[in-house]
Amino acid sequence: MSTTRPLRAHAALTRADFHAAQGVLLVVRNPPPAPPPVKGQPALVAGNPAEGVEILLAVWDDGSVTALNGHVDLGTGIRTALTQIVAEELDVPMAQVNMVLGDTTRAPNQGATIASASIQIHAKPLRTAAAQARQWLVARAADHLGVAAAALHVQAGAVQDTSDTSRRVAWQRPHRAGPGGRYAHQTRGGLHRGRAVGPARGHPGQGAW
């Protein structure tokens, strides 16, 4: 009988569960306003601020990743495409990425699924979120290894010292850098600010960017 633990990214969670979890890096954004109407396309409904911030990405302390997008796969292959975007940005196997699509209890409000817009337009927030998570994790690994972030590179879900590849930190390690290990990043208008939340507040290297 297999004793392999299921990946945390595949757990069935509500948005509140994500925020309450420990050992996870969340990338979130404020609910954006509805864009102006476009002729020939259905009207978009603005996000509800009362529901709190929208979660774009969660990197768990077992190295798995939950990625969230508000569109659905209508046979066009966007689940595979979006999964690949996140996996490539974080340099993790696609099997470690759980792509959540069109789930209104968890995914961000991104309007109707319209042809190629899912990749050309609505994949950008997800790619940006993965890039932010990577930047944060590399910075924490640099702190742990005592080297500049520029001296590190990412390969197969681990951060390695370019000059000595035996010195490496897996994605899981930075989550455990401080007590509680729960962090969040918030994107606003294409810019981003980082903040520590929960028990890990005040850990060296955290605060607003």
Which one-letter DSSP state was computed for residue 80?
Answer: H
Supply the mean pLDDT for the chain. 76
Q: Kindly tell me the burial class for residue 140, based on how many C-beta atoms sit within 10 Å of its own C-beta (0-12, 13-18, 19 or more).
A: buried
Helix 78-90 to helix 124-145 angle, to the nearest 10 degrees?
20
Domains of the chain, start order: 18-135+175-200 (3.30.365.10)
Query: How far from chain centre, in Å, is Cα 117?
Result: 20
pLDDT surpasses 80 at 48? no
User: Are the beta carbons of 126 and 86 closer than 8 angstroms?
Assistant: yes
Question: Phi-psi category of 157—alpha, beta or left, where left has phi over 0 and alpha has psi -120 to 50?
Answer: left
43 Cβ partners below 8 Å, 6+ apart? 34, 37
Beta bridge partners, 58, equal 26, 66
Q: How confident is the model at residue 2 (pLDDT cuts 50, 70, 90)?
A: low
- List, in sequence order, every beta strand (DSSP E) within the chain: 24-29, 54-60, 65-69, 97-101, 152-155, 158-161, 164-170, 182-188, 191-196
Q: How confident is the model at residue 202 (pLDDT cuts 50, 70, 90)?
A: very low
Q: What is the pLDDT of residues 129-185, one digit of tens each?
A: 999 998 888 888 888 888 888 888 887 777 888 888 788 787 665 554 443 444 444
Query: Which residue from 173, 89, 91 is spatially nearest to 127, judged by alpha carbons?
Result: 89
Rg for the chain, CA atoms, rounded? 17
pTM for this entry = 0.77
pLDDT surpasses 80 at 10? yes
81 Cβ partners below 8 Å, 6+ apart? 119, 123
User: What is the Cα–Cα distance from 182 to 19, expressed in whole angstroms?
Assistant: 9
Q: What is the pLDDT of residues 84-130, one digit of tens each?
A: 999 999 989 999 999 999 888 888 887 777 766 777 777 888 999 99
Q: What's the pLDDT score for residue 176? A: 46
Q: What is the pLDDT of residues 14-40, one digit of tens each?
A: 888 998 888 889 999 888 777 677 777
